A and B are shown apart, each in its own frame.
Chain A
Amino acid sequence: MKNNDAADDPGTTHFGFQTVDRDQKESLVRGVFDSVASRYDLMNDLMSAGIHRLWKRFTIELSSVRPGQTVLDIAGGTGDLAAKFSKLVGPDGRVILADINDSMLRVGRDRLIDLGAVGNLQTVQCDAQELPFPDDSVDCITIAFGLRNVTDKDRALQSMERILKPGGRLLVLEFSKPVSPLLEKVYDAYSFRVLPLMGQLVANDPDSYRYLAESIRKHPDQETLQEMMEDAGFVSCEYHNMTGGIVAVHKGIKA
Chain B
Amino acid sequence: MTGRHDPTVVTAVLVAAEAAINRGLELDPTSARDLADMAGTVLAIDCLSPEIEVFAIVEETGRLHLTPYWEAPADVRVRGELTDFLALATAEDPAATLINSDLEILGNTSPLLALQALVSRMQPDWEAPLVDALGDVAGHQLANLLRGIFRWGQASSKSLRRQLSEFILEEGQLSPPAAELEHFFEQVTALGLRVDRLESRLQRLARRLAAQR
Tell me if A62 and B8 are in contact (CB < 8 A). no
Interface size on B, residues (CB 8 A): 12
Given A54-B15, A240-B2, does the pair A61, B69 have CB atoms closer than 8 Å?
A: yes
In the complex, what distance in Å separates the CA atom of A62 from the CA atom of B11? 12
The answer to whether B8 touches A55, judged by C-beta atoms less than 8 angstroms apart, is yes
A58 to B8, alpha carbons, bound, how many Å? 8
A residues in contact with B68, CB < 8 Å = 58, 61
B71 within 8 A of A: yes
- Quick check: A242 and B71 within 8 Å, CB to CB? no
Bound CA–CA A244/B69 (angstroms): 19
Neighbour of A62 across the interface among B6, B12, B15, B69, CB < 8 A: B69
Q: Is B97 an interface residue (CB 8 A)?
A: no
Contact A54 B71 (CB under 8 A): no
- Contact A54 B69, beta carbon cutoff 8 Å: no
Q: Are B2 and A54 in contact (CB under 8 A)?
A: no
Which residues of B from 1 to 28 have beta carbons under 8 Å from A?
2, 6-8, 11-12, 15
Q: Mark A35-65, 1 if CB is under 8 A from B, else 0.
A: 0000000000000000100110110011010
Give the nearest-CB partner of B72 in chain A.
A64
Given that A54-B15, A57-B15 are known contacts, is A242 also in contact with B8, CB under 8 Å in the complex? yes
> B116: which A residues are within 8 A, CB to CB?
none
- State the total of A-B contacts with C-beta under 8 angstroms: 33
Report whether B71 and A243 are in contact in the complex, using a CB–CB cutoff of 8 Å: no
Do A58 and B7 touch (CB < 8 A)? Answer: yes
Q: Which residues of B contact A249 (CB under 8 A)?
A: 7
> B165-182, CB under 8 A of A: which get 1 and which 0?
000000000000000000
User: Which listed residue, A54, A64, A241, touches B11 by the CB 8 Å rule?
Assistant: A54
- Which one, B6, B12, B67, contacts A61 given CB within 8 A? B67
Measured between beta carbons, the chain A residues less than 8 angstroms from B2 are: 240
Residues of B within 8 A of A243 (CB): 6, 8
CB distance A64 to B6 under 8 Å?
no
Please measure, in the bound complex, the distance between the C-alpha atom of A51 and the C-alpha atom of B8, giving whole angstroms.
Answer: 8
In the assembled complex, how far is the CB of residue B17 from the closest CB belonging to chain A, in whole angstroms?
13
Measured CB to CB, the closest approach of chain A to B1, in angstroms, equals: 10
Contacting residues, chain A, for B70 (C-beta < 8 A): 61, 64
Residue numbers in B under 8 Å from A62 (CB-CB): 69
Q: How far is the CB of A44 from chain B (nearest CB, A)?
A: 15
Q: Which of A200-255 contact B (CB under 8 A)?
A: 240-244, 249
In the complex the two chains form, is B6's CB within 8 Å of A244's CB? yes
Give the CA-CA distance A244 to B6 in the complex, in Å: 7
Cα–Cα, bound, A184→B120 (Å): 46
**Which residues does chain A contribute within 8 Å of B6, judged by CB atoms?**
241-244
Chain A residues in 8 Å Cβ range of B8: 51, 54-55, 58, 242-243
Which A residues form the contact surface with B (CB < 8 A)? 51, 54-55, 57-58, 61-62, 64, 240-244, 249
Show 22 residue pairs from A and B whose CB-CB distance is below 8 angstroms, ordered by the A residue.
A51-B8, A54-B7, A54-B11, A54-B15, A55-B8, A57-B11, A58-B7, A58-B8, A58-B68, A58-B69, A61-B11, A61-B68, A61-B69, A61-B70, A62-B69, A64-B70, A240-B2, A241-B6, A242-B7, A242-B8, A243-B8, A244-B6
Residues of B participating in the A interface, judged by any CB pair closer than 8 Å: 2, 6-8, 11-12, 15, 67-71
14 further A-B contacts with Cβ under 8 Å, apart from A54-B7, A54-B12, are A54-B8, A54-B11, A57-B11, A57-B15, A58-B11, A58-B68, A61-B68, A61-B69, A64-B69, A240-B7, A241-B6, A242-B7, A242-B8, A249-B7
